[in-house]
Structure 1
Amino acid sequence: MRRCVTLLVIILTAGVSAALQIQCYQCEDVRQDDCSAPEFIVNCTVNVQDMCQKEVLVMEDGIHYRKSCASSGACLIASSGYQQFCTGKLNSVCITCCNTPLCNGPRHKRRALSRASALPALAPAAPLLASIQLFLWTCAH
């Protein structure tokens, strides 16, 4: 049993550590342009900043953007705290959090997700899932 627990810790640590660095867009107080060009891409701090944050402020002189890496706790607290101020009107402040690479970039038109297009998104998880299946089989026998 001890061998199974050790093996599970190794598998999960390998899978989690590979998935904890994310890239986000980062800029401070940019007007009009939503700073989604390649020069604004940064690597977030591994195992600390696991989300991308986007702030959209509607001011008299136009729309201002702030984008950055963030820890999930700080980002979720900030976004929920400003939810009442996210009106889209003058002096509006909207803070959103997301956890996929470059997700704080430009908004894309939504399209229907077909089964075929959903499969590539699962590909990075396949080795971890195979390792977990092997672990379960090994410990059961």
Structure 2
Amino acid sequence: SALLRLSVALLNHATTTTAAGVAGGALSEAAESLCRSTPEAEQRRRVTGEVVGIDNSLMPPVEQYMHKKRLMGAVRPLLEARLGGSLVTFGSCENGFWVNGSDIDACMVLKNARTKQICVSKLQAIKSALNRLTMAAPA
């Protein structure tokens, strides 16, 4: 979305600069044609508007960020206290590519979980803790 806004801004700046900078400020016929309402200019404005609309529809709403904050605020301390380790988020919810409706990628980093048996035991503890948290949450 930032790249899209930058592209639109550069396109608008290039058109304005070209129109204003010809012959020391005097507009040539070619520069004036850039400022006129041409079918191409109208199409560019229409497509730009559509792309900006799509971009806006993909932006996560504030509620999505708040849900992530509440969820991680409840789950992280519970799991970290019970299992000793750290719960970290990654992926699109951390790198800026999160879109409306995206999931939250999280990884539980555990020390000394070197065998399959220990990992399965930790996963069962996570499941149990999350089930208790879900049951305790108001509907």
Q: Same fold (TM over 0.5)?
A: no
The structure that has the greater radius of gyration is 2
Going by fraction, where is helix more abundant, 1 or 2?
2
Structure with greater contact order relative to length (CA < 8 Å, sep ≥ 6): 1
Please give the TM-score of this superposition, normalised by the length of structure 2. Answer: 0.29
Going by fraction, where is strand more abundant, 1 or 2?
1
